[in-house]
């Protein structure tokens, strides 16, 4: 049983991006979070590269993931 209150505990950035892209699609994801890696030739790989070195963008993606309530599906 997971005792952590952090909804992102144990969830990798790759899982977050993959689930958001599958749920919203790249176009809608780019509308919700306007960052180039979601709006111009998006891919999981390019998104991960950008998000790993850009803390403010990663924070926005993590917040959207938490709001989408994927944590209940784990």
**pTM of the predicted structure, to 2 decimals:** 0.86
Place of tokens 């960052």: 35
- Please write the tens of the pLDDT for every residue from 7-18: 888 899 999 999
- Please write the tens of the pLDDT for every residue from 24-45: 999 999 999 999 999 999 999 9
Q: Alpha carbon of 45 to those of 11, 13, 29, 50, 64: distances in Å?
A: 17, 11, 15, 9, 19
Q: For the chain, list the domains and their CATH numbers.
A: 21-73 (1.10.720.30)
Tokens for 37, please give them: 């890696």
């Amino acid at each position: 049983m997971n005792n952590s209150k952090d909804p992102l505990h144990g969830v990798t950035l790759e899982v977050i991006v993959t689930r958001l892209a599958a749920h919203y699609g790249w176009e809608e994801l780019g509308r919700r979070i306007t960052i180039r890696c979601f709006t111009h030739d998006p891919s999981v790989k390019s998104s991960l590269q950008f998000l790993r070195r850009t803390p403010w963008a990663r924070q926005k993606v993590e917040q959207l993931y938490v709001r989408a309530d994927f944590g209940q599906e784990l």
